[in-house]
Each structure stands twice: as structure tokens, then as C-alpha cells.
Amino acid sequence: MGHVTSDTTSGPTGAASDADREERARVADVAARLDEEILGGPRRYTLDELVEGTGLSHEFIQSYWRWLGLPVTHPTDPWFTDADMEALREIGDLVEDARLDERAQMTLIRALGHTTDRLALWQVEAFVELVSRRDGLDDPHARQAVLHQIPHLADRLSHQLEHAWRRQLAALTGRLAIEFGGEQGETVSADQLPLRRAVGFADIVSFTKRTAGLGSQELAEFVQRFESRARDVIVEAGGRVVKTIGDAVLFVADDVTTGAEVALGLAAPHATEEEIPVRVGFVWGRVLSRFGDVFGPDVNLASRITELAEPATVLVDPPTAALLASSSRYALTAQPPRELQGIGTITPVRLQRAYTGS
């Protein structure tokens, strides 16, 4: 048998290799162009040049990018832009002026990274869904179409981001001023969590069963209907959405009555569409607010009470029921005692609107 050699420069295999190389080069060119348009300029600086230009240490700069969720994987490559240089100078000034220790630095920068990572994904996916639905494209082709629109959308979306952030910061500042702006503030002991809040959960009853046969588009629409309507109900009643967790939403309110109005609004059959039955549990208690979330035993209690609720009903714990009992707006009905693992025996109380006869 003679020796067989392969020629990679001609014939079908060679042609395929050439075509693959050309396609990879074309994709790389497109990616580089989009990258420069979105970032506002070319990547021109290495890590060493960034250190020299900002006066910051290698360690701080690498920590900054890692906390942002964009770790520096090739420090000798020109990876950084003029905007990166300016952003690092600004964060360096903030660290010095506000005397931020490493823990505060990490918290602030990770907040930016986590929030903007999710926001960018959310917004791009919204455009993919729009193009797919409007133009009748499957998901991959819709993504190709959106890809080339992103640079043209970036400036407008970034301006909206700053505007919305300032409005949210102003709203938060207003709430803090009302709660803590007086000379006489509440004294909190070392073993107490600092904030009094109504905290509650609303979740979709039998979510897995209801969504088992849905395709990706139907599932997305189902979840979006629930989340959008739940957010509207919570905000209109005076509460705030802390986060959504798949088939559930966690909310807080600054007083127990607002918490009750949020809970009853969410449980109402029309609140999240009749085909999406929701059950709600909430308590008045104390929480720790960190990382854009709330923590504490009362958060866990609200979650566990929600699991006991029937569709389209609201349950509260006895202390919360006692606070609401003086209001003529509500009817409160004690339920049979239940044992909750890790919590003990609790007598949940059903919260309803009082019958007015009208």
C-alpha cells in the first residue's frame, strides 16, 4: 500500500478551510467595529499603561474589573479605552474623597456590575423578542438583526439609564428624609435589625404544572404578564419591588397598611390575569437592607406563610393581624395552627377586605 498524503491547500478540504478562515476574519471585523462603536473608541491601553495613566495600583485596577464582572484576562494586550482611563480616575478620586475601605469599594462596584450586566441582557433580550415577533424571525436570526442595531441604541439607552437612576435616587432620598431626617430617631439595639418594614411574597400557584407544556415564547409571555402586572400593583399601592425570583416577587412597604394594600391587590383575581392565580403572605417586622435585597427572619417567615396560602388569598402572622385589627377596612380570620420547620407552630390569619354592604 502506498503512502497517502493530504493537500490542505486545494480541493474541497482546502476550500472549506479557506472559507472558514474568511468567515472567522469577517466575524472578528464585525465584532471589533461594534465593540469600538459601543465603547466610544478603540481599546488602546494595556494594564501597565492604565496604571501609569491613573496612578492606581495593578491590584486595585484588577480588583475593579473583577468586581465589575469583567476580569482582566490578558493584561499585556491593549484592552482599555480612554473612557476606561477616565472612569478609573473618577473611582480613584471617590475612594480617596469618601475614604472608602475595600469592603465599601467592592460593594459599590459590584452593585454597578451586577445591575448593569442584568440590565444590558434584559434590554437586548427585549429587542430580540420584539424583532422575532414583529418580523417573524426565529431566535438566532432575530439576534443577528438586533446585533447591528445595538450601537445605535446605546447612547439613548445610557441616557435613559442615568435619568432613571437619578429619579430613583431622589425617591430613595425622599423616603430616607421622611424616616430619618428628624432630630429624634428610633433607637435600635445591637441585636435588632435596623429597618421596620412590611415584607411579603406573591407567587404563582402550581407554576411548574401550569408551564410544563409551554414553548419558550409562551413561557416568556406567561412570566412577563405576571411580573409586569405584579410590579404595577405593588408600585401603585405604594410598595416597592425588591426582586423577582422566577415565579415569585418579593416586595416591601414602609408601613403595615400599605403592605396590606399591596398584598390584597396582588391576590385579587384581576391583578395578574385570571389564568395566573397568585397567593400572598406578608408580615410586619424588621429587616436588614443590603446589596439591593432584604434579609432577616421576618423575610423567611413571610416566604413560609406564603406557602400556606390558598390561591387568591393573603395570609399574615398574628402580630401583623393585631396591627391591622383596628382598621375597619379589613376582615381577619384565624386559620388552623400550622407547624413550620425551623420556625415552630404558627396560627396564620387570613386577610380580606371588610364587607361594606355596597
In a domain, 223, yes or no: yes
5-34: burial string, b at 16+ Cβ within 10 Å, e else: eeeeeeeeeeeeeeeeeeeeeeeeeeeeee
Asked whether residue 260 falls in the same domain as residue 136, the answer is: no
pLDDT tier, 355 (very low <50, low <70, confident <90, very high otherwise): confident
- Give the model's pLDDT for residue 179: 84
- Coil, strand or helix at 64: helix
276-303: burial string, b at 16+ Cβ within 10 Å, e else: bbbbbbbbbbbbeeeeeebebebbebbb
What's the number of CA atoms in the CB half-sphere (13 Å) around residue 284? 16
Asked whether residue 333 falls in the same domain as residue 268, the answer is: yes
Asked whether residue 294 falls in the same domain as residue 338, the answer is: yes
In a domain, 187, yes or no: no
Asked whether residue 225 falls in the same domain as residue 344, the answer is: yes
Does residue 66 or residue 1 have the better pLDDT? 66
Asked whether residue 200 falls in the same domain as residue 309, the answer is: yes
Asked whether residue 247 falls in the same domain as residue 288, the answer is: yes
For the question of whether the overall pTM of this predicted structure is more than 0.85, the answer is no
Number of domains in the chain: 2
Cα torsion for 136, 137, 143, 145, to the nearest 10°?
-80
CA distance 130 to 122: 12
Asked whether residue 213 falls in the same domain as residue 259, the answer is: yes
For the chain, the straight-line distance linking the first and the last C-alpha, in angstroms and rounded, comes to 100
Alpha helices in the chain (DSSP H): 11-39, 47-54, 58-68, 82-97, 102-135, 139-147, 150-180, 207-211, 216-236, 256-267, 297-308, 318-324
Tell me: pLDDT of 2 over 80.
Answer: no
Asked whether residue 207 falls in the same domain as residue 346, the answer is: yes
Tell me: pLDDT of 214 over 50.
Answer: yes
In a domain, 88, yes or no: yes
Residue 96 domain boundaries: 47-165
Query: For residue 230, what is the domain's CATH number?
Result: 3.30.70.1230
Asked whether residue 161 falls in the same domain as residue 234, the answer is: no
CA distance 239 to 282: 12
Average pLDDT taken over every residue of the chain: 89
In a domain, 22, yes or no: no
In a domain, 175, yes or no: no
Asked whether residue 103 falls in the same domain as residue 157, the answer is: yes
Domain termination site, one of 150, 165, 180: 165
pLDDT tier, 15 (very low <50, low <70, confident <90, very high otherwise): low
- Read off the DSSP letter of residue 284: E
| pLDDT tens-digit series, residues 54-93 | 999 999 999 999 999 998 888 899 999 999 999 999 999 9
In a domain, 207, yes or no: yes
| pLDDT tens-digit series, residues 193-208 | 989 999 999 998 888 7
In a domain, 188, yes or no: no
Q: What are phi and psi of 252, to 5 degrees?
A: -135, 160
In a domain, 327, yes or no: yes
CA distance 87 to 157: 19
Cα angle, residue 206 at apex, residues 338 and 226 outer, rounded to 5°: 110
CA distance 227 to 300: 21
